[in-house]
Amino acid sequence: MAPIYSRIIATGSALPERVVSNTDLEKIVDTSDEWIRTRTGIRQRHIAADGETTGDLAFLAAQRALDEAGVKASELDLIVLGTTTPDIIFPSTACLVQQRLGANGCAAFDVNAACSGFMYALGIADKFIRSGQSKKVLVIGAETLTRMIDWNDRETCVLFGDGAGAVVLEASSEPGIHATCMHADGGYKELLWNPVGVSAGFKDEPNHGVRIKMAGREVFKVAVKTLDALVDETLQAAGMQASQIDWLIPHQANLRIIEATAKRLAMPMERVIVTVDQHANTSSGSVPLALDYAVRSGKVQRGQNLLLEAFGGGFTWASALLRY
Ligand code: COA
């Protein structure tokens, strides 16, 4: 039987209207625009309005991707949504989005892999298509991470933003996605986590103690090392050389981490999509937001090879090498 591949046929994204600059944050915590820019590359972030949810952003991004694809919601046979900030505990945000799109009946579920959520969702969707189980899949990465930020903690509050991105995947006889890789190591859980929740219990604190905790320097070191190994593994899995990659579309957490990965691949920064300056770290939203920006700005062209990767709490890390 001829192999089946999955192809990205369209992308979409959504950002909250409200933009908060580094200078705005200087009024809240003891920080400076200069410190944030030089340590992270971030200049601004979008922050969800009161009442605006992950599902709202996911729905908008999904609708834009479906419109671009010319695919009706009723044609979808699967929705996979990466998020660590679901609207409610259940139903999943994927189910909430499915209902709003009018795709009722298809399978729909969330994936929680922290910042690697979209990359995990993409890898899973690819396997559904390759197995013949699904023909048209909506893959979303969406977050409102600023809802679980401690606005008194300058070490974390300057880093994150809200947003969503989506892709429509379709079964094809041509690649498509060449290879995906996924990994996790729960041994690192305490370096980047939000250690409250339903079963462990919430805390008797404002916002129920729901806050991101991070050991930034340690996360940085492991992220760089791990992403180096991940891009090597992904190239090997796809049987390709770094010189064949047209664009690196990395997780947008820190410009210095992105530059380190580009260096590993010997890719000039002109071939790297950078949106961290505009969006900050939108967790699962980051890679599909960057991809949609790259497509809509005309940088990424059909037929080019793209290397997508992400790293996040867990730790989790995942990648995809694909022909767009
Ligand atoms: N504004 C001003 N000063 C700040 C600050 C802020 N927002 N946050 C921390 N500092 C201070 C620290 O208190 C420290 O002060 P000290 O030297 O007096 O102790 C100093 O800046 C340097 O801190 P350090 O942690 O060494 O900085 P760094 O160069 O490692 O940069 C991060 C900090 C968080 C930007 C960086 O470690 C990072 O990006 N880590 C990865 C985080 C990440 O990507 N997480 C998500 C993964 S998905």
> Rounded distance, CA 302 to CA 323, Å?
8
Confidence label for 206 from pLDDT (cuts 50, 70 and 90): confident
Return the residue whose CA atom lies nearest to atom 48 of ligand 1: 312
49 vs 206 pLDDT, higher one: 49
Q: Which long-range contacts (CB under 8 A, 24 or more apart) does 33-41 make?
A: 36/158, 39/254, 39/256, 40/158, 40/159, 40/253, 40/254, 40/255, 40/256, 40/276, 40/280, 41/254, 41/255, 41/256, 41/258, 41/274, 41/276, 41/277
> Rounded distance, CA 316 to CA 201, Å?
24
The token duo for 174 is: 């041509």
Is residue 108 a contact partner of residue 58, using CB atoms and an 8 Å limit?
A: no
Confidence label for 200 from pLDDT (cuts 50, 70 and 90): very high
Return the residue whose CA atom lies nearest to atom 31 of ligand 1: 39
- Per CATH, is 5-174 categorized as 3.30.565.10? no
Report, as an integer, the average pLDDT of 252-272: 98
The set of protein residues with a Cβ atom below 6 angstroms from ligand 1 is: 31, 35, 39-40, 115, 154-155, 158, 192, 214, 216-217, 219-220, 223, 253-254, 281, 311-312
| CA 19 to ligand 1 center in whole angstroms | 22
- Report DSSP letters for 139-206, one per residue: EEEEEEGGGG--TT-HHHHTTB-EEEEEEEEEEESS-SEEEEEEEE-GGGGGGEE---BTTTB--SSG
Q: Share the mean pLDDT of the chain.
A: 97
Residue length, the chain? 324
Query: What is the three-class DSSP state of 110?
Result: strand
Our separate counts of H helices and E strands in the chain read: 10, 13
Q: Is the pLDDT of residue 204 over 90?
A: no
Is residue 116 a contact partner of residue 281, using CB atoms and an 8 Å limit?
A: no
Domain boundaries, the chain: 5-174, 178-323
Confidence label for 208 from pLDDT (cuts 50, 70 and 90): confident
> Is residue 186 exposed (0-12), middle (13-18) or buried (19+ Cβ within 10 Å)?
exposed
Q: Is the pLDDT of residue 194 over 90?
A: yes
pLDDT in tens, 130-168: 999 999 999 999 999 999 999 999 999 999 999 999 999
Q: Is the pLDDT of residue 1 over 90?
A: no
Eight-class DSSP state of 48: P
Cα–chain center distance at 78: 18
| CA 271 to ligand 1 center in whole angstroms | 27
| CA 164 to ligand 1 center in whole angstroms | 25
Other Cβ atoms less than 10 A from the Cβ of 323: the count is 18
Return the residue whose CA atom lies nearest to atom 29 of ligand 1: 39
Q: Is the pLDDT of residue 231 over 90?
A: yes
Q: Which residue has the tokens 């505990």?
A: 89
The answer to whether 5-174 and 178-323 have equal CATH topology is: yes
pLDDT on residue 191: 98
Report, as an integer, the average pLDDT of 213-223: 97
> Rounded distance, CA 318 to CA 231, Å?
9
Q: What is the CA radius of gyration of the chain?
A: 18
φ/ψ (deg, to 5) at 201: 95, 145
| CA 275 to ligand 1 center in whole angstroms | 20
pLDDT in tens, 68-124: 999 999 999 999 999 999 999 999 999 999 999 999 999 999 999 999 999 999 999
Q: Which of the listed residues 23, 28, 220 should we mutate to test ligand 1's pocket, taking the one with most ligand atoms within 8 A of CB? A: 220
Assigned CATH for 178-323: 3.40.47.10
Q: Which of 181, 251, 254, 279 is catalytic?
A: 251
Q: Is the pLDDT of residue 17 over 90?
A: yes
| Catalytic site includes residue 152 | no
pLDDT on residue 300: 98
* Torsion over CA: 221, 112, 197, 155 (sign): positive
pLDDT on residue 209: 87
| Catalytic site includes residue 281 | yes
Return the residue whose CA atom lies nearest to atom 32 of ligand 1: 216
pLDDT in tens, 266-310: 999 999 999 999 999 999 999 999 999 999 999 999 999 999 999
Task: Report the percent of the chain where pLDDT is more than 90.
Answer: 97
Atom of ligand 1 nearest to the CA of 25: 7
Omega within 30 of 0 (cis) for the link into 186: no
Q: Which of 106, 115, 157, 181 is catalytic?
A: 115
| Catalytic site includes residue 181 | no
